[in-house]
Structure 1
């Protein structure tokens, strides 16, 4: 009976450990198209997370730069992710992203808690998160594709 109890105990412990580890990789919720953004699709990469809003004029001029950056990063284990500052959801988020011609993933759920991003009251705001999920850079104001690529390169070399 003791051996059987130890085997069951180890099995339960293994299941619990698996559940805890799975909790570390929770999905990111839906994107602007309603598609699920999986943890596997973003974890282990550099992330450039940009907060934008419809009422933000610099955001409008920055989005084409972020679209260019997203295209440039396709082969570099890095992604641009957008987050609507006003928390738009569903069709409202899709309409806003379409009106800005955003070509990268926009998360419907704010990932700030997951990456321990500080709150920012000024837009646009961009955060660079490393492959381990640590915040490495906080940038306030309009960014360029070239400038963000330079930040990523410098951070990768540190």
Structure 2
């Protein structure tokens, strides 16, 4: 009887914890991005590519937003649209001067994001993991901050 109870508890625990708290994989520097770093925070998730002109123009704005919003409990993240990983991702991120975390693993499934046909595309995700806004095209730090203020106040 004790073995059966232990097995039931183990299965129940793994089912409960399986969907939440899963790590986000590695960043552009090969460091693990732990769930504790991002879960429960507002996220600004930007998809970019090296060949995308507006993405290149937008990166300095996202760098500024990342610095400004960090103190407000908001994390700016990037995802390479072309699925670059490892050294390729590091080189591309460095070439564009990206100063925020770029995820090697696309979190689209986690947040139920559609595959965008246009770039750049930015998603604002609330502290409960719900997508609150999809922003198509080039964004500014001021525009992102304004949108976040409106959404957080709502």
TM-score range, shorter chain: over 0.9
Q: Determine if the alignment matches structure 1 residue 25 to structure 2 residue 21.
A: yes
Distance 1:21 1:104 in 2: 31
TM score, norm. by length of structure 2:
0.95
Distance 1:61 1:21 in 2: 42
Q: Determine if the alignment matches structure 1 residue 120 to structure 2 residue 116.
A: yes
SS in 1 for 2:88: helix
Question: How far did 1:119 drift?
Answer: 1.3
SS in 2 for 1:30: coil
Unaligned runs of 5+ in 2: none
Unaligned runs of 5+ in 1: none
Q: How many residues align?
A: 153
TM score, norm. by length of structure 1:
0.92
Which of 11, 19, 29 is the matching residue for 1:16? Answer: 11
Distance 2:23 2:117 in 1: 26
Structure showing greater Rg: 1
Cα deviations across residues 81-116 of structure 1 (Å, max 9, x unaligned)? Answer: 000000001000000000011010000010000000
